[in-house]
Amino acid sequence: MTSYYPPITYRVPPDEDGWLLKTILQKRMDVSRKLLSRLKMTDLGITLNGERVYISVKVSSGDRVEIRMEEETSEDILPQPIPFEILYEDGHLLVVNKAAGIIVHPTHGHYTETLANGVVHYWAEKGERVRFRPVHRLDQETSGVLVIAKNPYSHQHISEQMIAGTVDKRYAAFVHGVPAVQSGDIDGPIDRDPLEPHRRIVTPDGYPSLTRYEVKEVYPRAASRVELKLESGRTHQIRVHMSSIGCPLIGDGMYRHPLYARGQAAGGLVPPGGGEREAGLVLSGGETQEARLTLPGGETQEARLTLPGGESKEAELSPVEAAQLAEIAELDASIPRQALHAVRLSFRHPVTHADLVFEAPLPPDMAKLQAKLRETAAEE
C-alpha cells in the first residue's frame, strides 16, 4: 500500500470558478511539470473534493484541490547518530545550523560522517520516512544556516526562489586586509582552474558570479570583518571573490594571501598545506609570472613575480613585507578553517507562504578570532 505525506490543499475562490484543474495546479499551486507527471501516476496524487479526477476537469468555487506525494527514504545513505543543531522544522522543511568540518552530503570517499547521515538517522528515530534533499550546499569548512526540503514540492519551490534571486543569503567573514571601498560588488566570472580542477578562479570565460559585500569592522592588524550577500551560487564563490580583490579569508588554506607565494619563492615562510599558486591570480608561462588582480569597480592591476627556477631576486620580501607575512600567518594559524559563516537565510515558506528568517550566531572558533582581533585593536 502506498504511503503519502500529508496533503497540500487549495480552496478554489469564486473568481476561479470554471477554471481547469490543470490551471489551478500549475498557476495557483505552482506544481512543476515534473512533479505533476509524478502526481498523476499515483492513486491519491491529485484529488478534487477527495476523489481522483482527470486534470482536464473544471473546478467550482469552494472546491478542495489536494496533492499528495509518496513517502520516500534515502536508502543509499547510512543512518548515523551524528549530532546537529536544528533551527526550525515542520512537515515540509528542516533548517539546521551546520557545524564547520562536516560535509553536507555523501560524496566519493566520504560516504559516512556527513550531515546527511545524521539527519537520516534523526528522521528514522522519529519514525519519519523522508528523503534527504538539501536545497543548497555549504563547503565542508563553512558553518551556518542550511535548509533541507522534506518533499519534492518544497524543494522545487525554494529552488525556484533561489533562481529568481528572492532568497536572501548572508555570510559573515573575517578577511586579511580591508577592501578598497566600504561596500561594493565583486562581479567576476568563476570557473575551474584548468591546472588544478578542485580550485576555482576568476576568468573571463567563467560563469557569471556576483557577490555583494559591506565592511562591518576594521582591525589594526590589517584585517576586517565583512558581511556578504550572494547573488549567485558558484562553488567557493566568496572565497574566490574575496581573494581576487586582495582580501582572502583568514584561515583559508586553499585561497591564500599573495604574500605566501612570494615568501615561498624567496625560500621564506610557507604555512601548512603548501601550494605555490594563489587564487585570484591568473598565471601565464615563463620564468617571470604575470598576475592580473581585479579590484573593486573593475580596475585591473598588473604584478610580476619571479618564481623558483629564475635567478632574479625580485621575489625577495622586504623587512616590512616579511613582518606583514608573519602577522598573516599568525592569524591563519588562529583558526583551523576559513573564517566563513552563513549567518542569515530568509525565504518564503513553500506551503504557508509566510516570510521566514533564520539566523545563526558566530560559532566559537570565529567568535574567538573576533575577540583576538578586537583585543589587538584595544591594545593599540
Q: Which of 63, 76, 90, 139 is catalytic?
A: 139
Joined grid coordinates for residue 258: 599573495
Computed over its alpha carbons, how large is the radius of gyration of the chain? 25
CB burial readout 133-167, b (16+ within 10 A) else e: bbbbebbbbbbbbbbbbbbbbbbbbbbebbeeeeb
Query: Quick one: which of 356, 266, 344 has its CA closest to 309?
Result: 266
Given CA atoms 41, 47, 50, 54 in this order, what sign does their dihedral have?
Answer: negative
Terminal-residue alpha carbon distance, the chain: 71
HSE of 349, CA atoms in CB hemisphere, 13 A: 17
- Share in percent of the chain as helix, strand, coil (round to 5): 25, 30, 45
Contact call for residues 209 and 217 (beta carbons, < 8 A):
no
The residue type found at 110 is: H
Cα–Cα distance measured from residue 347 to residue 354, given in angstroms and rounded to the nearest whole number:
9
Neighbouring residues of 195: CB distance < 8 A, sequence distance ≥ 6:
277
Q: Which residue from 102, 99, 105, 104 is spatially nearest to 87, judged by alpha carbons? A: 99
Residues pairing with 65 in the sheet: 10, 48
Residue 90 falls in the annotated catalytic set: no
Annotated catalytic sites, by residue? 139
